[in-house]
A = this chain, B = another copy of it.
């Protein structure tokens, strides 16, 4: 009703609102040289959209708080807002307010996002006997950071099939595409009982669900939906694609817990929303801990911290 420019924005809400906030910090989460300012704007909103979807909500309104060094060109703000508004349009989100502060060093883009919800999908609803499911594929975003650090850019990858794989991984990092609407649909249909968005990495985020829910979980190594492009590149480098998919962060896919009898209907829902959905394991009685099934015996699965720039 009253938008940008007043002391606060006034917006219509329902009885239950969701609120989340997430920041992108230059030199920690992004470098300006990695891609366009518009892609950065898209990502600043997408990482918050992912949180609202993981709660079963419908994203509605965003505020944007920018901290900019005084030498930042105005074109940066233009480009950033192009991306924010474009992504907002795709997701049905209005950018209703903002704040601009000067800083001395790094750019900080902080978005707060308000959503509405009827049925919420918490992190603590996983129960022994539930299956664990993930949407999409995993590992591409982390490989994308590595490629960017090596100087690769969108539109200028190596040629051939390798080039297409690089392009896909870089795009996964710069322009994450959470399965918007799937969390909400699964919550409203009563099919999922817990969800978290995969920002830190499958292992760390699954352990969080275990800790919140008071359950253990296992992951079937053969079932993890490793991104095909990331797998091809990582194998070519002699690396371990499974580790990338288990521990790499920023895929912004959903991890869900659901009773086994809900899986068929979840698959139908996923097919209707054009979302890939994979059963990757399940929850069991026990202390919050993870194990990996695949060899002769289960092995403990210990989350590795997801670190962008390698430093402490």
Contacts and interface: CB of A to CB of B under 8 A. Distances in A.
Interface string A248-290: 0000000000000000000000000000000000000000000
Given A7-B196, A67-B25, A108-B108, A19 B101 contact: no
A104 B27 contact: yes
Interface residues of A, number: 65
A76 B70 CA distance: 27
Given A70-B312, A104-B27, A65 B120 contact: no
Interface in A79-106: 96-99, 101-106
A252 to B, nearest CB: 11
Contacts of A115: 8
B63 A19 contact: yes
A15 B18 contact: no
A28 interface: yes
Given A19-B96, A51-B7, A108-B108, A28 B61 contact: no
A72 to B, nearest CB: 13
A259 B29 CA distance: 51
A102 B25 contact: yes
Contacts of A57: 8, 10
A185 interface: no
21 contacts: A1-B16, A6-B122, A7-B195, A8-B18, A8-B19, A8-B55, A9-B19, A10-B18, A10-B55, A10-B57, A12-B17, A20-B63, A20-B99, A21-B64, A21-B97, A22-B99, A67-B108, A101-B108, A103-B106, A105-B105, A112-B112
